[in-house]
Structure 1
Amino acid sequence: MPEGLKTLTRYTIEQEHRHPGSSGEFSALVNVVATATKIIANQVTRGAIVGSLGAAEPDNLPRAVHRKLDAIANDVMVAETQWTGHLAALLSEQMPAIHPVPDEHRRGKYLLAFDPLDGSSNIDVNLPVGTIFSVLRAAERVGGAPTADDFLQPGVRQVCAGFTLYGPATMLVLTTGSGVDGFTLDREIGAFVLTHPRMRIPEDTSGFAINAANERFWERPVRRYVHECLDGVEGPRGRDFNMRWVASLVADAFHILTRGGVYLYPHDDRPPVRPGRVSLLYGANPIAFIVEQAGGWATTGGERVLEVPPEHMHHQVPLIFGSRNEVERIERYHSEPDEGHVFDSSLFGSRSLFRPAPH
């Protein structure tokens, strides 16, 4: 390990020392979760060797793309964390109900919600995937197992949030409510080391990420924003923008944390009609917590993500996050009336293969 770099273990212990009276349970939990993601990283790297390819569509799971490696990653997270005594229960994108820590293990004071393998549709084409997690405090109770209602807390009550990106390097991004730090897995020593301290998102940006194929289903405020960006220097924004879309929430989030930008997975009316497409408890909330701690902003278009009250375990919401000034502009477009805002409803604008340019 290069001299001067700090391991995640040392980092979490030093954080505990800043809080007199801390029991050490929280830092231990963070390191246990990190160990689980290292195991998942190894499985992802091996790909088809571990039989990760091929669809497996359980009937009783939330709507998502489910693959064998999703199940492998889920099993790793559960197996590595449930016995430690730090958790009372786990909630996963892969499980239809919560998983209380078994009676043979001591139950702790935290809850863990996670998406074991975000972006799993990218596996077959070897694009980045990742693990997203959120830590909440469990309800204090004497006897009895935790219930699903224990997880129905708004994002502002998160104790910790993070994600691991399995790309050319394995990266862990973490916040405990005092800024955001990024760690890189040093495979020579088998430890995450601090490489991106105090990550900050620029307030302004000239980049955005959205799936343009869904344009016909977007609400007018989103179409207005995207078209203004596409109009470039000749449009109302007076500058050119770049558009990108990885179809991996963690990959786009890491790009925004390091270079700035805006990610949009807005409300749309494509069938089946749903209020949103990103899971609140183990997707939108942890990402929003990280983004806000890095100086950015996260919204559904109508409200701050971290204040949305969860209705059920797999509640989904629209998600727009990134550079604060751009996200606030999109929020403002949602609150303004449509009158007076004229823009072309086609992504091809005034020129396309199908319509002549105006003379």
Structure 2
Amino acid sequence: MNNKTLVGSTIGTTLDRFINHKQADFPFATGELSQLLRDIALAGKIINLEINKSGLLDIAGAYGAVNVQGEEQQKLDVIANVRFIRALRNGGQVCAIVSEEDDEIVEINADSNYVVAMDPLDGSSNIDVNVSIGTIFSIYRRVTAPGEHVTKEDVLQKGDKQVAAGYILYGSSTMMVYTTGHGVNGFTLEPSLGEFVLSHADIQSPEDGQIYSVNEGAYYSFEQGVQDYIRYCKEERYSARYIGSLVSDFHRNMFKGGIYLYPRTDKSPNGKLRLVYECNALAFIAEQSGGMATDGENRIMSLDPLELHQRTQLLIGSTAMVKKAVSFL
């Protein structure tokens, strides 16, 4: 297929049309998961508009409260959380939400079948300086019967139990990337139409790469093996690329080949990233695109979550690079 034919094959394939076409791939294909993905996309469009106005309205900067992580909430963190909860409640497919911004499980529709775990706005402290940020989401099918109160058993499931996961990247263009376990596809928001259009079909991450992404400012608080791997990357003349926005760093490395590391530190001995609504989602996408995700000892999606806001170390990206990093640990 030549380039012109390839371009023509994707133009006009909206997210709605793609979801309808792929519905048979979904577990329990009743249309509920399809609608849920549409609800997430709708909320993403609304958040995109809010972000684009952030420099003109008083919605950037600190909100004046601290979330359960002990992190200062940004105004857009709160706005994004409200928008997503409202969209998912109105959509009717979700029984409960686990969010970075809420201490406990948010129950919304007891009769529904799906649980959503999300970071509504990752990297939101970068908004003030116009740096790319993102939304991360995981979708699970509840364990308890519809109509009952949602329990932690419904929410604290291994990443292997995800039925779908994805992220929305708000950058030079806005993209929604997701998987249902049948490959990874990316959709770019076409502003004049207000539609997500298939732009990156069947994304395949390079097996190896030459980009490493880590906050080297914390170098001396990393364990010795991580320090040794970073020195190895420098000796190999790899490129250091670190935005400080998890979705943005992961997205770049998935396309170009690279590794993202958020190691344990003296300050965060268990790691800092959250397993349930950050690491599991990106691990699912990484594996579906040919990459790898580990905590240094175990595959991320095999970990048993014990707490809603459980933290973990994360090494994720091109398989060869992740394996090499693990060999230093």
Which band: TM-score by shorter chain? Answer: over 0.9
Tell me if 1:251 matches 2:255. Answer: no
2:191 pairs with one of 174, 183, 187:
187
Q: Which has the larger radius of gyration?
A: 1
Partner residue of 1:345? Answer: none
CA positional deviation for 1:21:
7.2
CA contact (8 A) 1:65 1:121 kept: no
Unaligned stretches of 5+ residues in structure 1: 233-239, 335-359
1:280 corresponds in structure 2 to 275
Q: Report Cα offsets for 1:131-173 as digits up to 9, x if no partner.
A: 0000001123264311233211110110000000000100111
Q: Structure 2 vs 1, CA of residues 181 and 143 (structure 1 numbering), >3 Å: closer, same or farther?
A: closer
Aligned to 2:100: 93
From the two aligned structures, give the one with the greater helix fraction. 2
TM-score, structure 1 as length reference: 0.86
Contact 2:260 2:315 in 1 (8 A): yes
Q: C-alpha displacement at 1:57, in angstroms?
A: 4.1
Residues 1:291 and 2:295 aligned together: no
2:3 maps to what in 1?
none
Aligned to 1:24: 31
Asked if 1:230 corresponds to 2:234, the answer is yes
- Partners of 1:65 and 1:120 within 8 A in 2: no
- Residue pair 1:87, 1:111 contacting (<8 A) in 2 also: yes
Higher strand share: 2
| SS of the residue 2:34 aligns to | helix
Amino acid at match of 2:318: S
State whether residues 83 and 101 of structure 1, in contact with CA within 8 Å, keep that contact through their aligned partners in structure 2.
no
Residue 58 of structure 1: SS of its match in structure 2?
strand
Q: TM-score, normalised by structure 2?
A: 0.93
Cα separation, 1, equivalents of 2:99 and 2:201: 29
Gap regions ≥5 residues in structure 2: 1-7
The structure-2 alpha-carbon separation of the partners of 1:156 and 1:68, relative to structure 1 and needing over 3 Å to count, comes to: same
CA contact (8 A) 2:143 2:153 kept: no
Q: For the residues of structure 2 that align with 1:88 and 1:27, how far apart are their CA atoms? A: 16
Paired AA for residue 230 in structure 2: V
Give, as a single letter, the amino acid of the residue that structure 2 aligns with 1:38: K
**Partner residue in 2 for 1:356:** none
**Aligned residue pairs, count:** 322
1:262 is aligned to 2:228: no
Q: Which residue of 1 aligns with 2:14?
A: 7
Q: Does residue 215 of structure 2 align to residue 208 of structure 1?
A: no
- Cα deviations across residues 274-331 of structure 1 (Å, max 9, x unaligned)? 4010011110000110011000000111211111111100001111100101101112
- The one-letter code sitting in structure 2 at the alignment partner of 1:83 is N
* Cα pair distance change 1:164/1:18, threshold 3 Å: closer
